[in-house]
Structure 1
Amino acid sequence: MNQTGKTKNMIVTTMFMALTVVMMFTPLGTLRLPVVSVTIAHIPTIVAALVLGLKQGIMVSLSFALTSMFIAIISPTSVLDPFFANPLISVLPRVLIPVTTYYVSRLFKKDSKVGIMVSTLLGNLTNTFGVYTMLYLIYAQAILEQSGNSAVSLIIGAISTSTLIKSVIVVLIVTPTVMALRRVIKK
């Protein structure tokens, strides 16, 4: 890649990072539905991994992860939020989103719509199951003590109510976005 290409790549990566931070601090990052709130602030991470590459996806995911940790420290709102001050909860699973997304996408043809959809879905699920697995492994007892409910019941409740909805929404947003950005980049 020439210097102009590297500069454009860096600018687009920075724009995705800024978009992620804006989404994390505004209602843009959360879809409020009648039954559940769905976090979609990781969408720029998935798009960056699919359009720009693994390194750029990781940079964007770090902006998501560190912002999540910062928010957990300064303004926790739910019973689980304080646990996100731990980077094993807020950072590690989020850094794995672009890794899963990128490598799954490589199993498909470059411009495969199915490949985009499958890699997006698995990147999204990496976030969901990564975070909840770490919460359980590290804080199961603390969750029980603070909420009066077992960690398993809280986590299963959170996963069952929002995962399907969030997965569909994320795939529906990311797929056309990636396809359009890839067309623009080719030109």
Structure 2
Amino acid sequence: MSRDYPKQSRFEKLYGIALSRQVKTEILIMLMSAELILAFSYLGFIIIPPVSLTTMHILVIVATMILGTKEGIAVAMIFALTSMWKATVTGIQYGDLIFSPFRSGEPMRSLILTTARLWFALITGWMFAFYFRKERKHVYVGIALITMFSTWLHGSIAMAFMAGLFPECGVTVNQILTSWLSTNKLILYTCTMCMVCLLHYYLSRGHWRKELEVLSRSERTEMKLHMGY
């Protein structure tokens, strides 16, 4: 029984609910499926002239926050693979084609470039793990700051990999460091921060917490019946 309900998982530490492995897996699959929907719909890249915003990184941040680093990397893997697929099938500009090992002319470099998504998830997971290692008085401030930095990190790591692997793209260190100084990015940071903080609020105090508690209890009851208790 103890194996199926790990002691003080990230979700239990934050929201006081011990999820079984099955429920945790179901939540992860739901996030990965949502990432697929974002990747292959207009929701993954929203254009409202003169502003264009990408939303693919948000679910990676959510997964690392509520589930953990490994789960965040799993969602980031969907992000990476769909980026590769879209670059291969629909890529036109050189900045898109370099994400495809089949069309860039440098397959190994493209594969390494794709791992930028995974590094983003890994570092974000480390930051949340460090922050949540103990109770915080102003938890929303920390979540907001980590979310904003992770959003900058998402683009900056990709740009740094592009500069190192495909220097012909013309990406410079100055561009990487000042990439947040644009209307698009400031709006993106604000929207991402608000979404992640609102999710934490609803999971902490809203109707969803009661639903998850009921789901968790039902899972435990099913397990006991299955084991013959």
Q: Which residue of 1 aligns with 2:222?
A: none
What TM-score, normalized by structure 1, do the two folds share? 0.83
Instruction: Note closer, same or farther for the CA distance 1:169–1:28 as it changes in structure 2 (3 Å cut).
Output: same
Kept in 1, the 8 Å contact 2:113–2:158? The answer is yes
How far is the alpha carbon of 1:158 from its aligned partner?
6.6
Q: Which residue of 2 aligns with 1:127?
A: 154
Gaps of 5+ in 2: 6-18, 101-109, 214-229
Letter in structure 1 aligned against 2:194: L
Q: Which residue of 2 aligns with 1:30?
A: 45
Give the 3-state SS of the residue equivalent to 1:31 in structure 2. strand
Give the 3-state SS of the residue equivalent to 2:166 in structure 1. helix
Letter in structure 2 aligned against 1:89: L
Q: Which residue of 2 aligns with 1:2?
A: 4
Q: Aligned equivalents of 2:203 and 2:92: distance in 1?
A: 35
Q: Which residue of 2 aligns with 1:152?
A: 172
Letter in structure 2 aligned against 1:121: M
Q: Which residue of 1 aligns with 2:220?
A: none
Letter in structure 2 aligned against 1:107: Y
Kept in 1, the 8 Å contact 2:159–2:171? The answer is no
How far is the alpha carbon of 1:46 from its aligned partner?
0.5
Instruction: Please provide the CA RMSD for this pair.
Output: 2.6
Please point out which of 181, 191, 194 is paired with 1:172. Answer: 194
Letter in structure 1 aligned against 2:131: L
How far is the alpha carbon of 1:182 from its aligned partner?
4.5
Q: Aligned equivalents of 1:16 and 1:67: distance in 2?
A: 14
> Which is worse superposed, 110-119 or 70-79?
110-119
Q: Aligned equivalents of 2:152 and 2:32: distance in 1?
A: 21
Post-superposition Cα deviations, 1:86-121, rounded to whole Å, max 9, x if no partner, equal 12222x221122322222223253681112112211
Structure with the larger helix share: 1
Post-superposition Cα deviations, 1:50-98, rounded to whole Å, max 9, x if no partner, equal 01111111111111111111111111143310011212222x2211223
Q: Which residue of 1 aligns with 2:116?
A: 93
Give the 3-state SS of the residue equivalent to 2:53 in structure 1. strand
Kept in 2, the 8 Å contact 1:45–1:57? The answer is yes
Kept in 1, the 8 Å contact 2:116–2:157? The answer is yes
Gaps of 5+ in 1: 144-149
Q: Which residue of 1 aligns with 2:79?
A: 64
How far is the alpha carbon of 1:41 from its aligned partner?
1.1
Give the 3-state SS of the residue equivalent to 1:80 in structure 2. helix
What TM-score, normalized by structure 2, do the two folds share? 0.69
> Which is worse superposed, 16-25 or 107-116?
107-116
Identity %: 24
> Is the counterpart of residue 53 in structure 1 residue 77 in structure 2?
no
